[in-house]
Amino acid sequence: MPRILDGAAIAAAIKQEVAEEVKLLAALGIRPGLAVVLVGHVAASEIYVRGKAQTCAELGIFSEVVTPPEDVTTQEMLDLVASLNDRDDIDGILIQLPLPAQVDAKALLDTILPAKDVDGLHPVNAGLLQAGRPALAPCTPAGVIEILKRSGIAISGRHAVVVGRSDLVGKPAAILLLHQNATVTICHSKTQKLGELTRQADILVAAIGRPGFITPEMVSPGATIIDVGINRIASREEFDRFFPGDQKREATFAKRGSVIVGDVHPKAFELAGAYTPVPGGVGPLTIAMLMANTVRAAKMRRGL
């Protein structure tokens, strides 16, 4: 039977470690602070932001949610970020994406001070990460590494194949795996003979944003599969394609009208030596690593 990698348990351990660091900083008169900027009223984003604020409270981190209106301009957002950059009680700034069409997201993210860029998206942090120097790494890829390490899965010398090349997940995940001495192949939607490459993977990271994209014939038996995808499916046809006979998910589908599936077809997990489930795998690590990044930013800003 494949081993299920429990992301929720690993996230809980990391949050406990963060809470201990927060206590140590408190003894020095320091309280890490996180500002989350949420524009407008997107239901999913509001849920994510509430989760982040709640976790901050649980761990002793100061948090502030800033909620500009839906019609906010780029200049108004730039001014807001500048004010957060200037605040000493704010160590981390996170812009909840997506932003309204009229806001220049790239210009906005580039305005955040690299020292407060807890999402790890600023070009300075991306460059430091590539160079292997101390930097704030994107939360989800950092979480992928934590899952592998804390689950005792060897990375050094293994062939890791990353499917997806986004700035937020695919590229930084590949760099972090490379820093752990894996041999890394990056694939994407335009890769020719993709299945031939994914079947070579000892560690397969799926981060392409397509439900069930990685099928059983694309997986080498015994591989470790890290499924980063979170895709909501709401049609009966799609449900039957991914979860035929799954009574637990059937009940969820009947109640909510949708279920979550990753970028890996559930049947592909049967071939794995170990895998992260969706939900309950990589997802919980994202918030845990955001908390860790906020504390790290607080320490780095003060030369600790």
| Cα gap 286→33, rounded to integer Å | 17
Looking at the DSSP assignment, which residues form a beta bridge with residue 242?
none
Half-sphere exposure of 119 (CA within 13 A, CB side): 21
- How would you class 290 by CB atoms within 10 Å of its CB: exposed for 0-12, middle for 13-18, buried for 19 or more? buried
- Which of 15, 52, 116, 171 is labelled catalytic? 52
Phi, psi of 185 (to 5 degrees): -115, 130
52 belongs to the catalytic site: yes
User: What are the tokens at 108?
Assistant: 């906005």
- Which of 117, 119, 202, 227 is labelled catalytic? 119
| Cα gap 113→100, rounded to integer Å | 22
- Which of 91, 96, 202, 263 is labelled catalytic? 96
192 belongs to the catalytic site: no
Cis peptide leading into 279, omega within 30 of 0? yes
> Would you please indicate which residues are annotated as catalytic (active-site) residues?
52, 96, 119
